[in-house]
Amino acid sequence: MPEELRQLLGLVVRALEIAGASALILGLLLATFHCVRRYFREGAKPAIASYRNALGRIVLIGLEILVAATIIKTITLDPTLRSAGLLAIMVLIRTALGLTTVLEVYGHWPWQKTPATEET
């Protein structure tokens, strides 16, 4: 691979890593701000529920961006077994968080048509 392309891909990876971290930090700050505002308008229960949903979405977005950076890095810049293992771990974490966030936000698993009901 030409050195110029390698450097460009390195910059793209670095930009994606910065974007992913920024999305996490900014999302946390914005979600916290909205939670505090909602707390004073509507009370604790709705504020905390919306905060949890917002944090779940923020984590998923940040992880998506970081996984994209890791995929590019693993395939093009650092094709080692260690980097492939790191990518696999990140994808597993992202999948687990995605599934649990969907359950938390919508009240049912993605493959279910209706919300799960509590058995008594």
Please report whether residue 118 resides in a domain: no
pLDDT single digits (tens) 62-105 = 888 988 888 888 888 878 898 888 888 878 887 888 788 778 77
Contact 87, 71 (CB under 8 A): yes
pLDDT single digits (tens) 3-27 = 898 899 999 999 999 999 999 999 9
For residue 89, give its domain range: 3-106
| Tally of domains in the chain | 1
How high is the pLDDT of residue 34? 96
Please report whether residue 80 resides in a domain: yes
Residues in Cβ contact with 39 at an 8 Å cutoff, skipping those fewer than 6 apart: 47
Number of neighbouring beta carbons within 10 Å of residue 69: 20
Please report whether residue 57 resides in a domain: yes
Please report whether residue 116 resides in a domain: no
Rg of the chain over Cα atoms, rounded to whole angstroms, equals 19
C-alpha–C-alpha distance, residues 79 and 74, integer Å: 5
